[in-house]
Amino acid sequence: MAVLVTGGAGYIGSHTCLELLQAGCDIVVIDNFMNSSVEVVHRIRKLSGENFQFYNMNLLDRDHLEQIFQKNKIEACIHFAGVKAVGESVRFPLLYYKQNLFSTINLCRVMQKYGVKNLIFSSSATVYGSPEKSPITEDHVLHATNPYGRTKWMIEELLKDLSLSDQDWSITILRYFNPIGAHESGEIGEDPKGMPNNLMPFVTRVAAGEYPMLEIFGDQYPTKDGTCIRDYIHVVDLACGHLKALEKTISARGVDIYNLGTGQGYSVLELVNTFEAVTGMEIPYQISKPRAGDVAICYADVTKAERELGWRAVRGIEEMCRDSWNWQSKNPIGYCSEVKTL
Ligand code: WQD
């Protein structure tokens, strides 16, 4: 029996595929390469020493998706596939609603048709909007503040309704905080197309000399040094959290929701200073005006995942910085190496 991984060539998806393979799982991977590259598939195979079925397809193509369920004995699905840039979602909301919602509905309908009712959904701390307090627990009020966050919140509600309609479904919703870092090999990592939206890929590209300096979006927030605080989590810890969630999903019923963070907040300046100390690279920066939609403080309460999944993050901020830089140093142009056939 195999685990279907949608978006498995993406940043978190690729790291999760590697952990699944190394844990002895059979996987079937789907990706449309909107935010990734075929090179990732080659590297997962090389790192794991394992082969696996890969399909370059879009989840909006229901006929093709059905063929995959006909050809493979699938036991569970980890659903990463989707578009995820906050700023882009404000500019192109219809793209985000169509891609994220319709692909999830297609997936659930085909899963239901083939009797596959174990699902792990990739959600985000963005559903908490501007949190009233941190650490944030899973029962915090939900209040997405952008179309991307609203698609995640709507899909969570859709999945709860699906579970109410059919008690056989076992659905685990994982709310990620701020994933950074890369596999220790430096073979897979975060490779945003174009100018990065997120902090760490921008920092590593400043360190690599691609950009002259980092803009820090505001230093007048009510925090220790005036810059925003976030819960950065190593992407490998995040991947390992999915394996624990899979174990639970296969044996449970109903819907469970978990924060996947470290429970520790770091400010932007703390992250930059740690990166400089760990790598020896200088990160010139200038303070600019606050970014619309940013919240001052956001970090997770992770006690539920520890108690019910037997999981917690083990990699610290230094390791996150070291592994991010290792990936950047080894892949100065990301995955844009020569495109190979599958
Ligand atoms: C972190 C901090 C910025 C870039 C986003 C999404 C969220 C999730 C994770 C998908 C903030 C500051 C950033 C820069 C900066 N993605 N910053 N200069 O905004 O917490 O969360 O990514 O699920 O949905 O909202 O992460 O990395 O963009 O920003 O000063 O060039 O770094 O202001 O305080 P964020 P981020």
Gap from CA of 39 to ligand 1 centroid (Å): 26
With b meaning 16 or more CB within 10 Å and e meaning fewer, what string describes 116-147? bbbbbbbbbbbbbbebeebbbebebebebbbb
Q: Which of 128, 148, 176, 221 is catalytic?
A: 148
Tell me which DSSP letter residue 128 carries: G
Mean pLDDT per 10-residue section of the chain, whose length is 342 residues: 97 98 98 95 98 97 98 98 94 97 98 98 96 95 95 98 98 98 98 93 98 98 98 98 98 97 98 98 97 94 98 98 98 75 49
Determine the pLDDT at residue 337. Answer: 55
Nearest CA to ligand 1 atom 4: 199
Q: What integer pLDDT is reported at residue 118 of this predicted model?
A: 98
Mutate to test the pocket of ligand 1, among 84, 217, 259, 289 (most ligand atoms within 8 A of CB): 217
Question: Rounded to whole angstroms, how far apart are CA atoms 256 and 245?
Answer: 10
Which pLDDT belongs to residue 192? 92
Active site residue 148: yes
Sequence spans of domains, the chain: 2-330
Return the pLDDT at 338: 46
In order, the DSSP letters of 133-200 are SSSBPTTSPP---SHHHHHHHHHHHHHHHHHHH-TT-EEEEEEE-EEE---TTSSS----SSS-SSHH
Helix, strand, coil % over all residues of the chain, rounded to 5: 40, 20, 40
CA of 217 to the centre of ligand 1 (A): 10
Cα-to-centroid distance, 197 and ligand 1 (Å): 7
Is there a contact between 219 and 206 (Cβ–Cβ < 8 Å)?
no
Give the distance, in angstroms, between the CA of residue 57 and the centroid of all CA atoms in the same chain: 20
Query: Which 8-state DSSP code applies to residue 99?
Result: I
State the Rg of the chain over Cα. 19
> 2-330: which CATH topology?
Rossmann fold (3.40.50)
Measure Cα distances from 17 to 8, 50, 71, 105 in Å: 6, 11, 20, 23
CA distance 170 to 253: 4
Q: Which residues have CB under 6 Å of ligand 1?
A: 84, 86, 124, 126, 176, 178, 197-199, 202, 214-217, 228, 230, 268, 291, 294
User: How far is residue 65 from each of residues 3, 5, 43, 51, 191, measured CA to CA in Å?
Assistant: 14, 12, 24, 20, 26
* Per-residue pLDDT at 1: 86
Q: Which atom of ligand 1 has the smallest separation from the CA of 271?
A: 32
Q: Residue 165 C-alpha to ligand 1 middle, in angstroms?
A: 36
In angstroms, the CA 342 to CA 217 distance is 41
